[in-house]
Amino acid sequence: MAPRAFGFFRAGGFDQVRFENGQDFINLDQLDWKLWVALACPTRGLAFDARTLELIDSDKDGRIRASELITAVKWAGALLKNPDDFLKAPAELPLAAINVDVEEGKRIHQAAKTVLQGLGKADATSISVPDSAAAVKAFHDMAFNGDGVIPPESTKTPEQKQLVLDVIATIGSTDDKSGKKGVNAEQVKAFFTAVSEYVTWLAKGEADASLMPLGTGTVAAFEAMRVVRAKVDDYFARCAMTAFDSRAAAALNREEKEYLAVAAKDLTITSDEIKGFPLSKIEGHKALPLFDNVNPSWAAALAIFAAKTVTPILGEQKTLTEAQWLAAKAKLAAFEAWQGSKVGGVVEKLGVERLKVLHTEASKALLDPLFAEEKAQEPTANSIASVEKLVRYTRDLFQLANNFVSFKDFYERKRPAIFQVGTLFLDQRECQLTIRVEDQARHAVMAPLSRGYLAYCDCSRPATNEKMTIVAAFTSGESDNLMVGRNGLFKDREGKDWDATITKLIDNPISIRQAFWSPYKKVLRFVEEQVAKRAAEEEKDSNALLADGVTTVGKSAEEGKVVKEPKKLDIGVVAALGVAVGGITAAMGALLQSFFGLGLWMPLGVVGLLGLISGPSMLIAWLKLRQRNIGPLLDANGWAVNAHAMLNVPFGASLTKTAVLPEGSRLDKQDPYAEARRPWWLYLTLIVLLAVGIAWYLGKLDHLLPAAARSDSVLGDAAPAAAEKAEAKEAKQPEPAAAPVEAPK
């Protein structure tokens, strides 16, 4: 069978598939993945039905992949009589559209009728997404909804309810589809396994008297010994080291500086510093005192140990030797080993009596009838879930494909793409390319590769305490008034308003026009900054000089001294300034002379000069605007964009609308607060006069003027024309003839 021939359209600089009919759509699996615009997208941050995305995401990893979309299309396509219904994207699915020739379609058709009947719409011929969602919710709220989970509320007897509560308290719980906590069959099985293991282990201890040498007091004796065991072992080890070498006694008893450090604080007998000290003073082969001269942090624990462990095993003792300590541990060694083999301890907290009641076959079968009722509802649950899935898929899959397999919605501009989450209004512009961002720091690493001018904004709705971050692409206008901290308004796809504040800007060219003026604006800003800086420095120096002068005059007046006159300006400085001004004047004159020397070609000179200044900036802007694409913006958000989706200048301009008065508006141009303007002809006259003056100065008008008005007559040798004539005259003078050589006589 030959592969299907799809139709394509070109947009964004690349070819994209067009689904011309339902057969094209259900044969999506035959489209080469290399021709897909995207191969994966996230399930969050999109202006798309979240429940539909959840159903498509079969592995529940938060991403929709190409294979999952194909599976969804194939499943739904097999259940519809006419695949063209996908292209209609109906809000309600007609029952007659369901393919009852297949077994699953027959079940879904019957389930849809049952759902409508339960909603009081027995005569309805179609079912909508709200209908199916309501039916699913109503079914989930039933005591038995086919999900295999039994909440305490679904039990029928007190014994069943208590058993469910015991399983939840020990093994854990599972969420029922109604949202309640319950237990499933696996958890119940694990519970009774633990009960059986624990009761069996406990019976072994009760049957073997050697495991309980102190009878019922064995547990208390072992617990009391366990509390002090590490410290008692530490004490006898320190005593043994001291007996081996008495020089170790000082170190093993802790140094004096450690006591000083503790003494400098407010002491409590439970202080960690004191608790870390030995149980008693360390000496070679010394018995452990149980009551007197012991570490106060351990006094209570030692007293309990003496009463519950030492006395029952060794009789009443005031001290404990190392041999007695080893004997006490040996007495309880079998019990300790038995305790170490404990299994099923997770249910121990229910108590021995309760566990013995549960350790019966009747208790194990207590929940079996409830699980049987749950199992009986599984087909109904699956059918109702399939109804919801089919209704949603018929309505939503085609739209998802036009934002995944192709970017038809994005480039046709008839409706926003699913990744366009709203509109940002800021700086008299309406930015329609706005994308939700989950992690701004991660997103900003890759986003600059889009070559777009981007503004990250924090959006919030204080009334509902909602917050989110978006990135907006400015693709038209200027960037002069865009800065971090500026506030705007964001309107999401649901029509809700959010406060928006710019938090980060990624600077890239917006247009060739902006790039043309960019060098001049930069120079102007630099000049303004330098002037402001110089003015601030001059003001500071002037204030300092004034303050110093006042102070000097005051001191001189007090001391009766005459204030010295300030130093006169150095003549050398004046000469240097004159040379500098002369050099600048000469350079400007040479530049102007060259410029006016172009004659009729002066307009081309102006164009060339502008091109020399603005050309590099415009070239860079042109290159970047040709590279501008949306791929990195989406990839940084978890998409897998498979094409170079371009944002050229005309298309970009459609994504950002600037403020324009509506057609038919009336504008009163009389601004009462407008600054006074001089007429344009005044500036034109000044420019003409300046040009004529420069031309006269350079001698370009001498041939049109009488001799007395020429620049060389008025300025003399200072005129550039006079200098040129002198140079030309010298060049034309003939060289003097050589003197005749006399013949020798």
d(CA 112, CA 117): 9
Residues 21 and 127 both lie in one domain: yes
Residues 221 and 252 both lie in one domain: yes
Q: What is the pLDDT of residue 590?
A: 57
Domain presence at residue 523: no
Report which of residues 405 and 623 the model is more confident about. 405
Domain presence at residue 561: no
Residues 69 and 11 both lie in one domain: yes
Domain presence at residue 204: no
Please name every residue paired with 92 in a beta bridge, in sequence order, or none if there are none: 128
d(CA 734, CA 566): 60
End-to-end C-alpha distance for the chain, whole angstroms: 123
Taking residues 329-341, report their average pLDDT: 89
Q: Are 641 and 635 contacting, i.e. CB atoms less than 8 angstroms apart?
A: yes
Residues 402 and 496 both lie in one domain: no
High-pLDDT (> 70) share of the chain, %: 79
Last residue of a domain, one of 395, 411, 427: 411
Residue type, 16: Q
Last residue of a domain, one of 354, 388, 411: 411
d(CA 75, CA 26): 9
Domain presence at residue 118: yes
Residues 12 and 121 both lie in one domain: yes
Q: Which domain holds residue 284?
A: 214-331
Q: What are phi and psi of 103, to 5 degrees?
A: -60, -45
Last residue of a domain, one of 331, 348, 365: 331
Domain presence at residue 249: yes
High-pLDDT (> 90) share of the chain, %: 50
pTM of the model: 0.66
Residues 491 and 430 both lie in one domain: yes
Residues 404 and 448 both lie in one domain: no
Domain presence at residue 371: no
Q: How confident is the model at residue 601 (pLDDT cuts 50, 70, 90)?
A: low
Q: Are 512 and 622 contacting, i.e. CB atoms less than 8 angstroms apart?
A: yes
Q: Are 410 and 399 contacting, i.e. CB atoms less than 8 angstroms apart?
A: no
Q: How confident is the model at residue 627 (pLDDT cuts 50, 70, 90)?
A: confident
Domain presence at residue 124: yes
Q: How confident is the model at residue 253 (pLDDT cuts 50, 70, 90)?
A: confident
Q: What is the pLDDT of residue 28?
A: 95
Q: What is the number of structural domains in the chain?
A: 3
Residues 391 and 453 both lie in one domain: no
Residues 383 and 324 both lie in one domain: no
The predicted-structure confidence for 267-301, as pLDDT tens digits, reads as follows 454 566 677 788 889 898 899 999 988 988 899 99
**Helix extents (H) in 282-321:** 299-305, 311-314
Span of 308-322, 413-427, 433-447, 731-745 with lowest mean pLDDT: 731-745
Report which of residues 129 and 683 the model is more confident about. 129
- Closest listed residue to residue 424, CA positions, set 411, 408, 437, 414: 437
* Total length of the chain: 745
Domain presence at residue 156: no
Span of 249-263, 404-418, 579-593 with lowest mean pLDDT: 579-593
Residues 424 and 406 both lie in one domain: no
Rounded to whole angstroms, what are the CA distances from 155 to 209, 378, 422? 42, 18, 48
Residues 382 and 477 both lie in one domain: no
Residues 294 and 327 both lie in one domain: yes
The predicted-structure confidence for 637-668, as pLDDT tens digits, reads as follows 999 999 988 888 888 888 998 888 888 888 88
